[in-house]
Amino acid sequence: MSYVDEVYERVVAKNPAEPEFHQAVKEFLESIRPVVDKHEEEYRKTALLERLTEPERQIRFRVPWVDDKGQVQVNTGYRVQFNSAIGPYKGGLRFHPSVYLGIIKFLGFEQIFKNSLTGLPIGGGKGGSDFDPKGKSDREVMAFCQSFMTELYRHIGADTDVPAGDIGVGGREIGFLYGQYKRITGLYEGVLTGKGLTYGGSLARTEATGYGLLYFTKELLKINGKDIKGMTAAVSGAGNVAIYAIQKAQQMGVKVLTCSDSTGWIYDPDGIDVATLQEVKEVHRARLTEYKAKRPNSVYHEGRGVWVTKTDLALPCATQNELTLDDAKTLVENGCIAVCEGANMPTTLDATEYLKSHGVIFGPAKAANAGGVATSALEMSQNSERLSWTFEEVDQKLQQIMINIVHNIDNAAREYGKEGDYAAGANIAGFLKVADAMQAQGIV
């Protein structure tokens, strides 16, 4: 059996009942096969792939808090510090009822290679909780965040592990988490990113993942001889990534026809109105039915379904495995030319294969949504310098990082005979840097 297959079997056996983690590892290992074949003896001897797929540290903890009725609630908190070969652990915190160790491990594993692709010195980690902020009062969210940080603070630090936001963790949550960290430790340091602008946050961090996705998509289309201007797009999600992806798409002359949340989706023939979407989601934290009420021309559908819309581009920005094989078939039938992933692992493995084999340009999450973490790393730099850069300065650096990523993954794919397979290119380019650093640092 090949080394890659052995390692995959070992991962499945050692991490039972964690299908998302298996999926992320499988996708990664399959595409680095040509690199591993070239170095098999060395990698086997140093158990490089076994070390790479085993987190350096996994922390799981109790998070008790008191709700508004005086009832004590208990959630589970996680932080997986996956790999620190090229820098301090970096990756977001997700608060969603579906969170369990397997989700955090899949996200932490992907984060290693995404962070490597940014070209910045950041290792991979991820954390979160099965806490659901939806429907909770601000006081309840604060009580939860304070309890969560009361345990997490001892494991993180500006030079060791720097969490950020993800699903369910936005500016409000980061503020509560940061306040508690500072209160416990007495340190005013860049231990979290995505902070508010009055206390160490970076301009353009809020927009970075969505904007970065569009900078990436534009460049990817360009190297394939296509101009993004004048195209149409379907976007899923209505959160941080989706909102700023839609905004930047529109600035680039793309008409975005859809968005979605966990209960339904919107088709707006006039193009999604970002100001309305922000009011509904960022201010009122309401359902998309409120968007429909404010935009009578739009259509609201219950359940999932954005991918039935005929568009040139598909930009999944909600959650994992939200674009299935059936959706991929519909997209191909409707003439979609590119799928670029704003969310993490939103496309199932069979759907990814189908899209690639039918000539759809596929921009994988690791590369396409790396703008968020890249800008988080820029926030860390500003915190260390005790300086704030302008919006334009940060945005300029973000654009350059995304353009570099496109060319790096394109080159890596070509070098290993996989021209046009950007998922393979992203895995290979991300892996090579981490592998080199791990080998140089000995058996640790």
Binding residues for ligand NDP restricted to 143-182, rule: CB under 6 A: 165-168, 170
Tell me: does residue 241 bind ligand NDP (CB under 6 A): yes
Q: Which of 245, 272, 318, 360 is close enough to bind ligand NDP by CB under 6 A? A: 318
Q: Which of 84, 118, 202, 209 is close enough to bind ligand NDP by CB under 6 A? A: 209
* Cβ distance to ligand NDP smaller for residue 261 or 312: 261
Q: Which stretch binds ligand NDP (CB under 6 A): 14-22, 30-38, 145-153, 315-323?
A: 315-323
Q: Which of 11, 48, 104, 343 is close enough to bind ligand NDP by CB under 6 A? A: 343
Q: Which stretch binds ligand NDP (CB under 6 A): 27-35, 178-186, 238-246, 327-335?
A: 238-246
Tell me: does residue 202 bind ligand NDP (CB under 6 A): no
Binding residues for ligand NDP restricted to 50-79, rule: CB under 6 A: none
* Minimum distance from residue 173 beta carbon to ligand NDP (Å): 10
Binding residues for ligand NDP restricted to 261-280, rule: CB under 6 A: 261-262
- 126 catalytic, yes or no? yes
* SS3 per residue for the chain: CCHHHHHHHHHHHHCCCCHHHHHHHHHHHHHHHHHHHHCHHHHHHCCHHHHHCCCCEEEEEEEEEECCCCCEEEEEEEEEEEECCCCCEEEEEEECCCCCHHHHHHHHHHHHHHHHHCCCCCEEEEEEECCCCCCCCHHHHHHHHHHHHHHHHHHCECCCEEEECECCECHHHHHHHHHHHHHHHCCCCCCCCCCCHHHCCCCCHHHHHHHHHHHHHHHHHHHCCCCCCCCEEEEECCCHHHHHHHHHHHHCCCEEEEEECCCEEEECCCCCCHHHHHHHHHHCCCCCHHHHHHCCCCEEEECCCHHHCCCCEEEECCCCCCECHHHHHHHHHCCCCEEECCCCCCECHHHHHHHHHCCCEEECHHHHCCHHHHHHHHHHHHHHHCCCCCHHHHHHHHHHHHHHHHHHHHHHHHHCCCCCCHHHHHHHHHHHHHHHHHHHCCCC
Q: Which stretch binds ligand NDP (CB under 6 A): 9-17, 147-155, 311-319, 406-414?
A: 311-319
Tell me: does residue 240 bind ligand NDP (CB under 6 A): yes
Tell me: does residue 127 bind ligand NDP (CB under 6 A): no
Q: By beta-carbon distance, which residue lies closest to ligand NDP? A: 239
Tell me: does residue 238 bind ligand NDP (CB under 6 A): yes
* Minimum distance from residue 428 beta carbon to ligand NDP (Å): 21
* Minimum distance from residue 282 beta carbon to ligand NDP (Å): 9
Residue among 90, 126, 136, 218 flagged as catalytic = 126
Q: Which stretch binds ligand NDP (CB under 6 A): 40-48, 290-298, 326-334, 341-349?
A: 341-349
Could you list the active site residues?
126
Q: Which residues sit at the interface with ligand NDP, rule CB under 6 A?
A: 165-168, 170, 209, 237-242, 261-262, 317-319, 342-344, 369, 372
